C-alpha cells in the first residue's frame, strides 16, 4: 500500500481530520483519519481512566504471585504441569486478543467504539475470577483442564475490557509528552490495585491457621481472596466507564477504514515500528513475569520472610509505583521514549536481581541479620520502579505508533494495535508462570515444601538460573528498545509518511 495524496487538516479545538487518498491494487479508497487534539487532558479524566486499571492490577498480581503457588502447593499439581497449562492458555489467548481489538475498532454505537465493551465486560470478569480460585476436588487431568478453561476465560474477559480501554489512549490526546503523563495514571492505579490485594492477602486474607503456620499455604484463605478481588474488579471497571463516559463515549464522525479481514489484521500487527516495540516489551515482560511468578518462592525459601516482612514487601512495591509515577515526567521531557525505556530496563535488571547475586556469591547478610531486610527491599524497590517506568513509556509509544500507522496506511486500528500490546503485556504472567514452572522443575524444587527444609544446593541453583534468565531477557529488551524507529515529536510530512508506509507491508517471503 502506498500513500499518494494528503488533503487539508481541520483543527478548531475538535479532532483533527486527515483525509487521505490511498491506492491499493489500482483502486482509490477515500479514508477519514481522526487524530485527537494535542491539548492537555483534565485531571478528572486522567483519574477515571486510570482507575479502570485496578481490575487488571488485581488479576495480574494474582496470576503472577499466587496462581502457581496455589495450584502447585495447595491443590498439589506439579509446577511444570501448571506452567505448561498456563502456557497453552497463553497461546489460545494470542488468537482472542486481535479479534477483540478488531471488533472494538469496528464497533459503531451511540456510545462510541469502546464503552459498550467496558460496561459489558465487568460481570464476566468477576465471575470467571471467582471460579478460577475454587477448583473442584478431582483427578489431576480434570483439575488441569479446569485451570486451562477458567484461566483462559479470565484472560479473555479482561481482554474485552482492557483492549478497548487502552485503545482510548490515543483518543485522549496526540501530544507526545502528554500521552506519557496520561498513561502513568493507568499504571499507578493498576499497581495500586495489585498491591492493595497483595497487602490484603499477606496481612488479612491469607493468614495462618490450625496446621498452617504460613498464611500463603493455608487453603482456607483463597476463596475469600477470590471474592474480595472479584468485587473490587467489578466496581473499578464500572466506575472508570462511567467516569470517562461523558468525554469519550461518543461516535467518531464518518466511518474510518479498519482492518476488516484476516490479511488486514496480520498486516497491521506486522507494522515494523510496532513489531520492534513489542519485541522489546516481550523480553522485558518475560523477565518481570519470571520474577513475579517466583516471588513467593524467592522470599519464603531464600530470604525466609515473616508475615510482617511480606506486608512490608507489598508496601515497598506500592512505593516503587509512586516513584515511577513521579520520575516518569522528567524522563519523558528530557529524552526520547525509546532511550528512556532502554535505560530503565537496564536499571530494572541490575537492581531487581542484584540482591540474589549477592546471596549467590556469599556477600549478602545472613537471614535474620538486621541489614538484610533494608538491603533486599531497597534493591527490589529501585528495580521495580525502573521496570514500571519502562512499561509507561512503552504504552505511550504504542499510542504514537497508532497515529503514524493511520497516517501511513489509512487504517484507524487503535484497538488492534493495543490488542497486540495487551497480549504481550499479559505474557508477563503466561510466560512467567510457564518459565518459572520449568525453572522449578529443572532445579528439582520439591512440592509442598516448608521454608527452611529445601537443601542449599537447590536454592543456589534456583538463584543462578533465575538470575541468568532475567539478565539475558533484560539486556535483549534494552537493545530492542534502541531499534525503535519513530522519534514521535515531529509531525510527519508527506515524504516522511511515504517512508513509514513502506514499513507497513509485511516482509517478502
User: What is the grid cell recorded at 99?
Assistant: 479479534
Say what the pLDDT of residue 108 is: 86
pLDDT at res. 481: 94
CA separation for the pair 170, 315 (Å, rounded): 32
Cell numbers of 81, please?
Answer: 504441569
What are residue 29's DSSP bridge partners?
Answer: 22
355: CB partners within 8 A, 6+ apart: 364, 375, 376, 379, 380
Coil/strand/helix, residue 483? coil
What residues pair up with 21 in beta bridges, in sequence order?
5, 30
Burial of 468 (0-12, 13-18, 19+ CB in 10 A): exposed
Q: Where are the beta strands (DSSP E) in 25-173?
A: 27-35
Give me 327's grid cell.
520520575
In the chain, where are the structural domains located?
2-502
Integer Cα distance of 135 and 150 in angstroms: 9
Alpha helices in 201-306 (DSSP H): 221-248, 262-269, 272-293, 295-297
Long-range contacts of 455-460 (CB under 8 A, 24+ apart): 459/301, 459/302, 460/360
Whether the CA torsion 179, 184, 189, 190 is positive or negative: it is positive
Burial of 312 (0-12, 13-18, 19+ CB in 10 A): middle
Q: Return the number of other C-beta atoms located less than 10 Å from residue 219's C-beta.
A: 13
Whose CA is closest to 66, among 125, 1, 151, 7?
A: 151
Q: What is the pLDDT along the chain (509 residues), one digit of tens a residue?
A: 333 333 333 333 333 434 433 333 333 333 456 666 677 889 999 999 999 999 999 998 888 778 988 998 899 898 888 888 887 887 787 788 888 988 888 888 889 889 999 999 999 999 999 999 999 988 999 999 999 999 999 989 999 999 999 888 888 888 888 899 999 999 999 989 988 898 888 888 988 888 888 888 889 899 999 999 999 999 999 999 999 998 888 877 656 667 666 777 777 778 889 999 999 998 988 888 888 878 888 998 999 888 788 888 888 988 999 999 999 999 988 889 999 999 999 999 999 889 999 999 999 998 888 999 999 999 999 999 999 999 899 989 998 898 888 887 777 788 888 888 888 877 666 677 778 888 888 898 887 777 888 888 999 999 999 999 999 999 999 999 999 988 755 444 334 334 444 444 433 33
Cell numbers 504504552: residue: 395
Q: DSSP character for 143?
A: H
Q: Is 31 left (phi over 0), alpha (psi -120 to 50) or beta?
A: beta
- Chain mean position to CA 170: 17
Residue 69's Cβ-count burial label (10 Å; 0-12, 13-18, 19+) is buried
> In terms of Cα–Cα distance, which of 309, 87, 308, 315 is closest to 194?
315
- A 10 A CB-CB count for 500 gives 20
Please give the order of strands across the beta sheet that includes 16-24: 2-10, 16-24, 27-35
Q: Which pairing describes strands 2-10 and 27-35: parallel, antiparallel, or unpaired? A: unpaired
Backbone angles phi, psi at 367, to 5 degrees: -60, 135
Domain range 2-502, CATH class: mainly alpha
Contact by Cβ (8 Å): 298, 379: no
pLDDT recorded at residue 198 = 85
Residue with cell 476463596: 223
The pLDDT assigned to 509 comes to: 32
Helices 337-352, 307-334: inter-axial angle, 10-degree rounding: 160
Amino acid at each position: 500500500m502506498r500513500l499518494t495524496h494528503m488533503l487539508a487538516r481541520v483543527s478548531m479545538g475538535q479532532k483533527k481530520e486527515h483525509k487521505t487518498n490511498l491506492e491499493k491494487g489500482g483502486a482509490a479508497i477515500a479514508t477519514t483519519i481522526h487524530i485527537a487534539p494535542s491539548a492537555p487532558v483534565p485531571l478528572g479524566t486522567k483519574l477515571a481512566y486510570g482507575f479502570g486499571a485496578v481490575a487488571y492490577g488485581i488479576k495480574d498480581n494474582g496470576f503472577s504471585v499466587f496462581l502457581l503457588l496455589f495450584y502447585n502447593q495447595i491443590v498439589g499439581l506439579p509446577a511444570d504441569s501448571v506452567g505448561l497449562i498456563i502456557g497453552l492458555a497463553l497461546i489460545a489467548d494470542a488468537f482472542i486478543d486481535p479479534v477483540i481489538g478488531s471488533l472494538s475498532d469496528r464497533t459503531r454505537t451511540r456510545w462510541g467504539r469502546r464503552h459498550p465493551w467496558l460496561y459489558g465486560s465487568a460481570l464476566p470478569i468477576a465471575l470467571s475470577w471467582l471460579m478460577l480460585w475454587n477448583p473442584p476436588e478431582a483427578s489431576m487431568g480434570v483439575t488441569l483442564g479446569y485451570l486451562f478453561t477458567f484461566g483462559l476465560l479470565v484472560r479473555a474477559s479482561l481482554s474485552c475490557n482492557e483492549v478497548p480501554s487502552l485503545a482510548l489512549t490515543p483518543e485522549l490526546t496526540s501530544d507526545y509528552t502528554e500521552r506519557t503523563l496520561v498513561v502513568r495514571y493507568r499504571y499507578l492505579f493498576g499497581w495500586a490495585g495489585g498491591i492493595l490485594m497483595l497487602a490484603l492477602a499477606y496481612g488479612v486474607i491469607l493468614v495462618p491457621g490450625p496446621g498452617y503456620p504460613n498464611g500463603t499455604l493455608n487453603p482456607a484463605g483463597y476463596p475469600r481472596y477470590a471474592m474480595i478481588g472479584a468485587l473490587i474488579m467489578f466496581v473499578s471497571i464500572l466506575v472508570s466507564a462511567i467516569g470517562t463516559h461523558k468525554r469519550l463515549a461518543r461516535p467518531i464522525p464518518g466511518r474510518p477504514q479498519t482492518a476488516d479481514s484476516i490479511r488486514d489484521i496480520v498486516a497491521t500487527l506486522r507494522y515494523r515500528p510496532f513489531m520492534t516495540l513489542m519485541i522489546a516489551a516481550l523480553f522485558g515482560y518475560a523477565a518481570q513475569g519470571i520474577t513475579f511468578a517466583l516471588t513467593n518462592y524467592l522470599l519464603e525459601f531464600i530470604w525466609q520472610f515473616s508475615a510482617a516482612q511480606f506486608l512490608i514487601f507489598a508496601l515497598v512495591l506500592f512505593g516503587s509505583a509512586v516513584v515511577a509515577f513521579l520520575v516518569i515526567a522528567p524522563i519523558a521531557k528530557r529524552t526520547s521514549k525509546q532511550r528512556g525505556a532502554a535505560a530503565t530496563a537496564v536499571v530494572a535488571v541490575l537492581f531487581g536481581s542484584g540482591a540474589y547475586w549477592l546471596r549467590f556469591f556469599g556477600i549478602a547478610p545472613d537471614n535474620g541479620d538486621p541489614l538484610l531486610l533494608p538491603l533486599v527491599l531497597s534493591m527490589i524497590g529501585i528495580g521495580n520502579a525502573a521496570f514500571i517506568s519502562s512499561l509507561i513509556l512503552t504504552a505511550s509509544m504504542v499510542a504514537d505508533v497508532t497515529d503514524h500507522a493511520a497516517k501511513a496506511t489509512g487504517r484507524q486500528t487503535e484497538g488492534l494495535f493495543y490488542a497486540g500490546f495487551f497480549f504481550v503485556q499479559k505474557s508477563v504472567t503466561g510466560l512467567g508462570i510457564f518459565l518459572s514452572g520449568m525453572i522449578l522443575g529443572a532445579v528439582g524444587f520439591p512440592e509442598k515444601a516448608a521454608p527452611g527444609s529445601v537443601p542449599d544446593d537447590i536454592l543456589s541453583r534456583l538463584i543462578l538460573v533465575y538470575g541468568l534468565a532475567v539478565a539475558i531477557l533484560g539486556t535483549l529488551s534494552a537493545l530492542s528498545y534502541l531499534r525503535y524507529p519513530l522519534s514521535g515529536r515531529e509531525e510527519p510530512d508527506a515524504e516522511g509518511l511515504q517512508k513509514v508506509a513502506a514499513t507497513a507491508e509485511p516482509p517478502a517471503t
